Chains A and B, each alone.
Chain A
Amino acid sequence: MNSRTETMVSFLQRTLPVGVLLLAWELVARTGLVNERVFPPVSEIALRWAAMLGDGGFYGPLWDTLWRALVGLGAAIVVGAPIGLLMGRTRWAAWLFEPLFSFFFPLPKIALIPLYVHLFGIFSLSKVMLIFTDCLFPIVIFTYHGARGLSAIYLWSAQARGTGRVRIFWRVVLPLSLASLYDGIQVAAVVAVLVAVVSEMVSGGSGLGYVMMRAYRYGDVRTAFATLLTISLVGFALYKVIEWGRERLLFWHVTES
């Protein structure tokens, strides 16, 4: 077997189970065993999705979800990375912040939606703040563990040359912690899209989550499914873009494994 047929075979092997599943879905929905309004055939969902892409009416909500997620994520990076670095390198910061972050970690931040609506209003601000709060945790925790677990050899060698504390932070600690900060950002990006969607589902205000909820209320399961597909693709694409950026942004980083 040459390499091209091998790629073909492995591609078929990977797509076959999903294909079979979708085909079964299509057939079950077509035979009328289930209510078609509630369980539409997959081909019609695909058509609706294509129609939504062509219609343009859904780029507004898509953009709303995306900018909320990205602004919240960005704010969490700006605030969270310094906290995590500080916790990793100074004892008092670890003492102060570590209990706070581990105590509030198990709280589902989504539970704060009513509080944030009360504090920040029903519009975008409360959603962005919630996304910020939820993303803060993975970013702080990953950066903290990265900065704490630095190999001491690098620090010693810098100290041995008489490098000052501030300079060590900028030239040694920060670059070496970037990889774990990046891991945290990748986890947080998925969280950001999820929280954006759920907050739109619960408190409305445009966005893909709201479009999906409205479709369900009107019994338009096809649109709801098509929106769900878009939401999944947005989260997946964001994750992939960040993964793609890793080797380009952190190309100089030594992977220790």
Chain B
Amino acid sequence: MRIVPLLLVAALWQAASMTGLLPKAVLPAFSDVVIALAGLVTSGEIFPDTAASFLRAGTGFVIAVVAGVVLGLLMARVRAVQRAVEPILLVIYPVPKPALIPLFMVWLGIGDVSKITVIALSCLLPVVVSTFNGARSVDEMLLWSARARGTPERRLLWRIVLPAALPQIATGVRTAIAIAIIVLVSSEFISAEHGLGFLIFSYGGVGADDAMLAVILYLTVLGYLLDRIYVAGLRHLMAWHEFAH
């Protein structure tokens, strides 16, 4: 039933276009956008750009999650690491990350490396912060009971602290997914020769509004599905935790 309001908006849009209330020069009809999207998909034209975008966002995202979880855990359990890293994170936090894109392009070139670096850096912060908060608030009782059984400290980190912090980490990772897509599109707007952001920008630039809206719609659906799959996967993985209920 949740799809009804979305269909309603699409129907209103279509009706406004057909009656001439919304001239096609201002906004193409919804049906034109769907036809353009069908064309892009059936001709396979959109897939190389999808792959290029996902490779960039995915690589940056994976680097950020791995580095962020390790750093967050270390910060929570090793005092010296926390003291060294926390002030630096506080300074980096308010920097709008897409504004770093041109900087990294000057440093690392206009290719994929600079985009991946900015995406990784942008996604890193929510993961570190959520891991740190999660790992810091682990129930001391769990740690005592593991220590009492003679579990070594390093094992404690992987067997107790990490699993207990997982629900909070999962929230940080969800934020990171959204940020990855935002920074990806921004970086592809600023400079790219492939990718979904590039497609939107170049279709918009030549006035092919139906194709531009088709790619935006495609990106929306992909982002929505990605988020749904992530949440569903999480429920499945963390069935043992109250988070899932």
Which A residues fall within an 8 A CB radius of B? 13-18, 21, 38-39, 95-100, 102-108, 110-115, 117-119, 190, 193-194, 197-198, 201-202, 209, 212-213, 216, 221, 224-225, 228, 231-233, 235-236, 239
Contacts and interface: CB of A to CB of B under 8 A. Distances in A.
Given A95-B5, A198-B99, 5 more contacts: A13-B83, A108-B178, A115-B213, A216-B106, A232-B95
Q: Is the interface of A mostly helix, strand, loop or mixed?
A: helix
B124 interface: no
B213 to A, nearest CB: 7
A228 B95 contact: yes
B182 A110 contact: yes
The 8 closest A-B pairs by CB, nearest first: A114-B204, A106-B223, A236-B94, A108-B182, A107-B220, A194-B96, A216-B102, A99-B2
9 contacts: A103-B220, A105-B224, A107-B220, A111-B219, A115-B216, A202-B186, A202-B189, A212-B102, A233-B94
Interface string B177-191: 010011011100110
A99 B99 contact: no
A108 B185 contact: yes
Nearest to B215: A111
Contacts of A108: 178, 181-182, 184-186, 219, 223
A187 B212 CA distance: 29
Contacts of B189: 110, 113, 202
Contact of B5 (A15, A38, A99, A198): A99
Contact of A115 (B101, B212, B223): B212
A25 to B, nearest CB: 12
Contacts of B207: 118
Interface of B: 1-6, 8-9, 26-27, 83-88, 91, 94-96, 98-103, 105-107, 178, 181-182, 184-186, 189-190, 197, 200-201, 203-205, 207, 209, 212-213, 216, 219-220, 223-224, 226-227
Contact of B87 (A15, A39, A104): A15
Contacts of A15: 87
Contacts of A16: 87
Contacts of A202: 186, 189-190
